[in-house]
Amino acid sequence: MVKIIDEDLAVQAYRSCLQSITDIENVFKGIGFDPDFERVPSVFFASDKKGVKLIEREYEIREKYKLPVTLLDKKVLSDKYGFRASCALENNESAQIDAYKAATHLIDFHIHKSGLKVFTNTEVTKIKEKSAGYELQTTNGYKISSKYVIIAAGFEAGKFLPKQVMKLTSTYALVSEPVDEKYIWHKKSLIWETKEPYIYIRTDNENRIIVGGEDEDFKDPVKRDSLLRKKVSILEKKFKKLFPDIPFKTDMAWCGTFSSTDDGLPYIGTWPGADRMFYALGYGGNGITFSMIAAQLIKNKLKGIRDERENVFGFNRKRK
């Protein structure tokens, strides 16, 4: 990232994401609900020689800024995690969560506690600017008037953006049948690699193993779905190469659209010149942490509180 944006902004982006993990944890502690939030280590391993260089450079810069990191060599990696790679970066600050459980419970909580109104299956088709705010139109012909609008339409937000800021790609994932606890590696760590297309691996609370990645550079859903069988087979092979002794049997597989940006960072804040229209676009592989930052940043803006993070995530951010 420091090749694309200023080093201090890259470090601020990393620190903001790190902080948001704790903030997410606290949101659920605050409402007394556990969406299977679990602190687990993260292991980022070198897939090849190019990956070794990347890991070394990444280690250097994280050390420089005292970001949590340990460099594991081949032996330590193999002894501790049971798979082979030249080296890896480890940190103990990462976490995993059941995102569906978390989102649905949080909405339900605020329906009851805060009077939140949710209109499901209500697609907004147009947004018109009015003198006192906005008028939104829905597919059913209803009109909604509001002072402010927050666009959090994920990868479908393009039609509400003056300019395309994200690239839409396809991604694949599968989940295994539960495996015996004895097969699960050190502290159920999150595992991912340097190569692209990459794979990532995690577990759930039933000791199922989730393997994902194998991204493709297009978004066409028909083409995407037609590749699912082939992608499952590649992901299974990659997993078995890393962990040949784990009796891995795929239970379910799926694919989806994924959005990313040139600098790997999301777009959060107002479009220059449109002060009452906010965007919470958590594009990228850290979408969950980015979404937490978006919630805080937009809340601060609405309250008139200056938030330095807009320099990193806003539409006006500086590039090198």
Ligand X SMILES: Cc1cc2nc3c(=O)[nH]c(=O)nc-3n(C[C@H](O)[C@H](O)[C@H](O)COP(=O)(O)OP(=O)(O)OC[C@H]3O[C@@H](n4cnc5c(N)ncnc54)[C@H](O)[C@@H]3O)c2cc1C
Of 25-54, binders to ligand X (CB under 6 A) are none
Return d(Cα 94, Cα 25) in angstroms, integer: 11
Location of structure tokens 């784990």: 246
Kindly state the smallest distance separating residue 255's Cβ from ligand X, in Å. Answer: 8
What's the sign of the alpha-carbon dihedral 79, 84, 89, 92?
Answer: negative
Comparison of 12 and 289: residue with beta carbon closer to ligand X: 289
Return d(Cα 35, Cα 17) in angstroms, integer: 19
**Residue number closest to ligand X, CB atom:** 287
Return d(Cα 210, Cα 174) in angstroms, integer: 6
Of 247-286, binders to ligand X (CB under 6 A) are 256, 258, 282, 285-286
Return d(Cα 151, Cα 49) in angstroms, integer: 42
- Residue 82, exposed/middle/buried by CB under 10 A (0-12, 13-18, 19+)? middle
Comparison of 77 and 190: residue with beta carbon closer to ligand X: 190
Indicate whether 169 belongs to the interface with ligand X (CB under 6 A): no
Among residues 34, 127, 146, 154, which is the contact residue for ligand X, using CB under 6 A? 154
Nearest by Cα to 119 from 140, 147, 98, 148: 140
Indicate whether 314 belongs to the interface with ligand X (CB under 6 A): no
Find the part of the chain contacting ligand X (CB under 6 A) among 40-48, 148-156, 178-186, 308-316. 148-156
Comparison of 9 and 295: residue with beta carbon closer to ligand X: 295
Indicate whether 82 belongs to the interface with ligand X (CB under 6 A): no
Location of structure tokens 């006006």: 316
Among residues 35, 41, 51, 212, which is the contact residue for ligand X, using CB under 6 A? 212
Kindly state the smallest distance separating residue 212's Cβ from ligand X, in Å. Answer: 5
Indicate whether 153 belongs to the interface with ligand X (CB under 6 A): yes
Indicate whether 20 belongs to the interface with ligand X (CB under 6 A): no
CB 36 within 8 A of CB 204: yes
Tokens of 36: 């299977």
Comparison of 162 and 247: residue with beta carbon closer to ligand X: 162
Return d(Cα 66, Cα 207) in angstroms, integer: 33
Indicate whether 158 belongs to the interface with ligand X (CB under 6 A): no
Return d(Cα 164, Cα 53) in angstroms, integer: 33
Among residues 8, 60, 63, 123, which is the contact residue for ligand X, using CB under 6 A? 123
Footprint of ligand X on this chain (CB under 6 A)?
123-124, 152-154, 156, 171, 173, 212, 256, 258, 282, 285-289, 291
